[in-house]
Structure 1
Amino acid sequence: MTVIDADRAEGLRLLRESAGAISPRGGSLAAVRALRDSETGFDRAVLAEMGGLGWLGLRVPDASGGAGLGVAELCALAEEMGHGLRPEPLVAIATIAAPLVPEPDVLAGRRVLLPAWAERPHTLDPFGDTIATSDEAGVRLSGRKLAVPMAAGADGFLVTAREGETPIVALVERSAPGVALTTASTVDGGHLGTLSLDDAPARRVASDASALVARLLDEASVATAAELLGLMERAFAITLDYLGTRHQFGRPIGSFQALQHRAADLKIQLELARAAVGHAASMCDTDAPAERRAAAVSLAKARASDAAMLITRQAIQLHGAIGYTDEADIGLFLRRAMALATSFGTATAHRRRYAACAPPLDLDA
């Protein structure tokens, strides 16, 4: 893992502080509650505010109108968004849409493009059965993409497909002929879209895209792990505060040794996830070999997903009966963890990839 120098560490601190304008630490979750089960699932005005702050173009080079910053900076922002449970698709746009289509409206958040890459559960292969065929205007797409988060709020989709044996990425407008979108609600009040394409006209944005898409999806995965890290950190802090204020038998329940042991175990899982996310971000930033990067990213995503589910479930139990009510904020963290844990690959899919990519142990060393 690379050591972040003092100047970059200060930049990361300032970036985290700037996030308070949208997702203040310890702030009210009333706005997030109001967005649950809405048509888009997120606030486009807030997304435009993110664009105005330069967040959506954070991974876009300076020459293309972006900030040209690294994955560590993106993870810092994603972690802060996790603290506030913000539902805007910052990660999907900053890691995939903006680098592929660095147009001013996309970078400013006025035009929402979302990646549509998944075709089968528990697999990380972005190039499956979706077919692209060339025509005079560009390409036409036929196939189906699953589990597109917040798809109803998109103006267009960046679709991975195969043109013969060549992996490509093409941009299809939501309103284009041959495009059908259905959505299903998720437990956090958002939704997942299924995108069906029947000879839909599209614009090619990348060819021979296998290595490029693999890198972008890795960055999206580690940023999602960072978002989970922020989520579980705040859920843990809320729970510790509750253990210190809730009294039973004349004492704070946090003074009971059994609960202290449970809290200590959760803290260990939180810090292990933090270390894994930091290592994966540094592997992305240092242009490590693809297999080493993939192994580090999959380790981080699987660990963060599992830790977030453990910590948020335990948090609800440690709150007692009130934790199970919808009025209690702690339940929002479990619901969001359930949605993010499957975003950009489930823990199962990432464990399988880690097993395939991790270097073998040298037992004789």
Structure 2
Amino acid sequence: MSSAAGIAPFSEDHAESIRMVRDSAAGIADGAARARALRFTMPGFSAETWRQMGELGWIGLAVPEAAGGSGLGQAEMCALSEELGRALAPEPLINAALSAALLAEAGETAVLAKLLAGEAVVLTAWQDRANTLSPCIAADATRRFIAMGAGATHFLMPVGDGLQLVEASACEVTHEATHDGGHLTTLRAPAGTPVGQAALAPALDRAALATAAYLLGGMEAGFAMTLDYLQTRQQFGKIIGTFQALQHKAADTKMHIALTRAAVEQAAAALDAGVAGDEAAALVSRAKARASEAAMLVGQACVQLSGGIGYTDQYDVGLYLRKAMVLAPMFGGAALHRARFMALSPETEDA
């Protein structure tokens, strides 16, 4: 991993771009209350918020300017995903951004323009089974595990060596509720409209890294709630945050978050610096493996540190654990990415 280890820090312009993306998210991703209100509804996210995301350029954040996007990098996409994770935003932005990148590379313009404007919801249906990073390319296959697919206007499917676009209304779909109040869609689709070719593997890696960043944002928000509880709740006449056993558990939790941030930021910086191929895939897998595992550990710790109230559905800290349960396996879970990391970097023990 020599070239990744030597990645230079972000320039001041790049850092400012990342700050601006974070600031834009602060005004629209307004926290757990909105996510709680949308749980177990269909389609499970707000059409108005989706249009705002389009207007802000979020859906096409990493799409080249020549194709109508913002032309920004993976670091900006991860910063945005992190802020959405803090707010538990239910909109399927990461999958739609994947679709936008693929449509732009394939040269499709009409539906892409609607997607970038927030007037369409195009989701990539690439998976036919759990625990895989290999895209399904069979035309007649059942596509599975499409998050928030009830709100899709179109599905983008890899078929053979190209991509096909099909309207959602033409598909046979079923939806299964998930722990976080969203749903996963299974679909069977008729033959779609060919839209060209695009490199799917690196695009899926970028989506996996953005998902790791979303999990990171959720970890930090849930831990911030927990620290506030530890610093205010009293037991036996003392603030419980002064109890050594709880301090040790909180310290371990903070360490998991810090290590996840380091892995996500290194991978994003490497991709923006042009690192590609196996080296890029290994860095993404390290970040996603760590984020998927840490999100579960941190979520569980935050619930436990919050005492009895942490186990109630009314207390928001549990929402972050529920979200982690759904997102940890998305675009490959911890075990799958750890195995890929070791296969690509057999000389490296840190996963």
TM class, shorter-length:
over 0.9
* TM-score, length basis structure 1: 0.89
Counterparts of residues 107-118 of structure 1 (less than 5 Å): 107-118=116-127
Residue number in structure 2 paired with 1:284 = 271
Counterpart selection for 1:309 from 289, 296, 299: 296
> Aligned partners of 2:164, 2:53: CA distance in 1, in Å?
25
Asked if the contact 1:302–1:350 (Cα under 8 Å) also holds between the matched residues in 2, the reply is: yes
Counterparts of residues 189-204 of structure 1 (less than 5 Å): 189-197=181-189, 200-204=190-194
Aligned-pair identity in percent equals 49
> Aligned partners of 2:254, 2:51: CA distance in 1, in Å?
35
User: 337-346 or 147-156: which moved more?
Assistant: 337-346
Instruction: Answer yes or no: is 1:180 the counterpart of 2:172.
Output: yes
Instruction: Answer yes or no: is 1:2 the counterpart of 2:5.
Output: no
Asked if the contact 2:342–2:348 (Cα under 8 Å) also holds between the matched residues in 1, the reply is: no
Instruction: Answer yes or no: is 1:125 the counterpart of 2:134.
Output: yes
SS at match of 1:314: helix
Give the direction of change, closer, same or farther, for the CA distance of 1:284–1:242 in structure 2 (3 Å limit).
same
Deviation at 1:172, TM superposition (A): 1.2
Deviation at 1:205, TM superposition (A): 2.1
> Aligned partners of 2:174, 2:233: CA distance in 1, in Å?
45
Deviation at 1:161, TM superposition (A): 2.1
> Aligned partners of 2:291, 2:8: CA distance in 1, in Å?
20
Point out where structure 1 has 5 or more consecutive residues left out of the alignment.
132-141
Deviation at 1:98, TM superposition (A): 4.7
SS at match of 1:123: coil
Residue number in structure 2 paired with 1:223 = 210
SS at match of 1:326: coil
* TM-score, length basis structure 2: 0.93
Residue number in structure 2 paired with 1:153 = 151
Residue number in structure 2 paired with 1:48 = 51
For 1:123, give the aligned amino acid: T
Asked if the contact 2:94–2:210 (Cα under 8 Å) also holds between the matched residues in 1, the reply is: yes
Deviation at 1:240, TM superposition (A): 0.5
User: 224-233 or 334-343: which moved more?
Assistant: 334-343
Instruction: Answer yes or no: is 1:169 the counterpart of 2:167.
Output: no
Asked if the contact 1:84–1:231 (Cα under 8 Å) also holds between the matched residues in 2, the reply is: yes
Deviation at 1:6, TM superposition (A): 1.4
> Aligned partners of 1:182, 1:90: CA distance in 2, in Å?
21
Counterparts of residues 253-292 of structure 1 (less than 5 Å): 253-292=240-279
Asked if the contact 1:98–1:107 (Cα under 8 Å) also holds between the matched residues in 2, the reply is: no
Aligned residues: 337
Residue number in structure 2 paired with 1:295 = 282
Residue number in structure 1 paired with 2:88 = 85
> Aligned partners of 2:188, 2:102: CA distance in 1, in Å?
24
Residue number in structure 2 paired with 1:136 = none
Residue number in structure 1 paired with 2:196 = 206
Residue number in structure 2 paired with 1:11 = 17
SS at match of 1:143: coil
Q: After superposition, what is the alpha-carbon deviation per residue over 1:287-330, rounded to whole angstroms, capped at 9, x for unaligned?
A: 21310111110110110011111011110011111111111011
SS at match of 2:246: helix
Give the direction of change, closer, same or farther, for the CA distance of 1:269–1:12 in structure 2 (3 Å limit).
same
SS at match of 1:216: helix
Q: After superposition, what is the alpha-carbon deviation per residue over 1:81-103, rounded to whole angstroms, capped at 9, x for unaligned?
A: 00000010111112333541552
Counterpart selection for 2:321 from 314, 334, 337: 334
> Aligned partners of 2:219, 2:348: CA distance in 1, in Å?
31
Deviation at 1:359, TM superposition (A): 4.9
Counterparts of residues 10-49 of structure 1 (less than 5 Å): 10-24=16-30, 27=31, 29-49=32-52
Give the direction of change, closer, same or farther, for the CA distance of 1:63–1:316 in structure 2 (3 Å limit).
same
For 1:173, give the aligned amino acid: E
Residue number in structure 1 paired with 2:4 = none
Residue number in structure 2 paired with 1:138 = none
Q: After superposition, what is the alpha-carbon deviation per residue over 1:254-293, rounded to whole angstroms, capped at 9, x for unaligned?
A: 0011111111111111000000001111222122131011
Point out where structure 2 has 5 or more consecutive residues left out of the alignment.
1-6
Asked if the contact 1:59–1:95 (Cα under 8 Å) also holds between the matched residues in 2, the reply is: no
